[in-house]
Amino acid sequence: MRIDILRVLPELLEGPLGHSIVKRAREKGTVEIFIHNLRDFSTDKHRRVDDYPFGGEAGMVMCIEPIERALDHLQSKRSYDEVIFTTPDGLTYNQQEANRLSTLENIIILCGHYKGVDQRVRDHLVTREISIGDYVLSGGELAAAVIADSIVRVLPGSISDETSALSDSFQDNLLSPPVYTRPAEYKGWGVPPVLLSGHKARIEEWRHEQALEKTRMRRPDLLDRLEESED
């Protein structure tokens, strides 16, 4: 899979996408991630990519031209399955969307900045608009890092124990059951005895019950989704 990210601020993405699982996946070639500077596609002598909004509002707006030039440059080389714009008024991101995106071959993620982008970018150049939650960030870089990281995590080969990503929270609309490690007893706080029993089937059953119980308490909305998908 190939992910191209268009952004104006250098550095903000290199860090989050240069460590741990994502770093290893990039090294192994499970995923290719390219980060581009939109300023490189500006024809302005000061490499500007924003301008004042029509109508006299406060703040700056990202111009359509450098964005279209950047997209044209990428799209002339290969076809892309999605051009995603990160924006607080987009569809709220979740695990199902991360799973779906992980099945695609090439995607572009466009990071907004300032007050956002000229609406014509959204109307004509973008295929999907994603929000990572109901709050406003200063720029789309962190949102792009969140989206890319969550995609890479579920790509086959990213995690050595492949079942591990599948047992994460939200896969199957359930929260993940509690986990424990050594020591089995700490300050008198024990570990559920079933986990020490070595009885695989019973452990599995316990985990499922715990996941259900936690989801019922914390996120009953997920269970409604589970029932809908079973109907």
201 binding ligand SAH? (CB under 6 A): no
Structure tokens at 206: 């316990």
Instruction: Tell me the β-bridge partners of 82.
Output: 107
133 binding ligand SAH? (CB under 6 A): yes
By beta-carbon proximity to ligand SAH, the closer residue of 89 and 105 is 89
By beta-carbon proximity to ligand SAH, the closer residue of 141 and 215 is 141
Query: Which amino acid belongs to residue 180?
Result: Y
By beta-carbon proximity to ligand SAH, the closer residue of 70 and 211 is 70
By beta-carbon proximity to ligand SAH, the closer residue of 145 and 211 is 145
**21, 64, 137, 212: which one contacts ligand SAH (CB under 6 A)?**
137
Structure tokens at 148: 């890319």
**32, 40, 57, 89: which one contacts ligand SAH (CB under 6 A)?**
89
- How far is Cα 66 from Cα 47, in angstroms, rounded to an integer? 9
Q: Which of 90, 46, 36, 41 is nearest to 68 (CA)?
A: 41
- The answer for 105, left when phi > 0, alpha when psi is -120 to 50, beta otherwise, is alpha
135 binding ligand SAH? (CB under 6 A): yes
111 binding ligand SAH? (CB under 6 A): yes
DSSP assignment letter at 83? E
Query: Are 147 and 93 a contacting pair, CB within 8 Å?
Result: yes
- How far is Cα 54 from Cα 74, in angstroms, rounded to an integer? 29
By beta-carbon proximity to ligand SAH, the closer residue of 116 and 177 is 116
Which range binds ligand SAH by CB under 6 A, 71-79, 85-93, 172-180, 192-200?
85-93
Residue nearest to ligand SAH (CB): 112
Half-sphere exposure of 36 (CA within 13 A, CB side): 19
Angle at 17 between CA 12 and CA 22, to 5 degrees: 170
86 binding ligand SAH? (CB under 6 A): yes
**Number of residues forming the site for ligand SAH (CB under 6 A):** 18
Q: Around Cβ 116, how many Cβ atoms within 10 Å?
A: 20
By beta-carbon proximity to ligand SAH, the closer residue of 113 and 153 is 113
210 binding ligand SAH? (CB under 6 A): no
| Contact positions vs ligand SAH (CB under 6 A) | 86-89, 111-113, 115-116, 131-133, 135-137, 139-140, 143
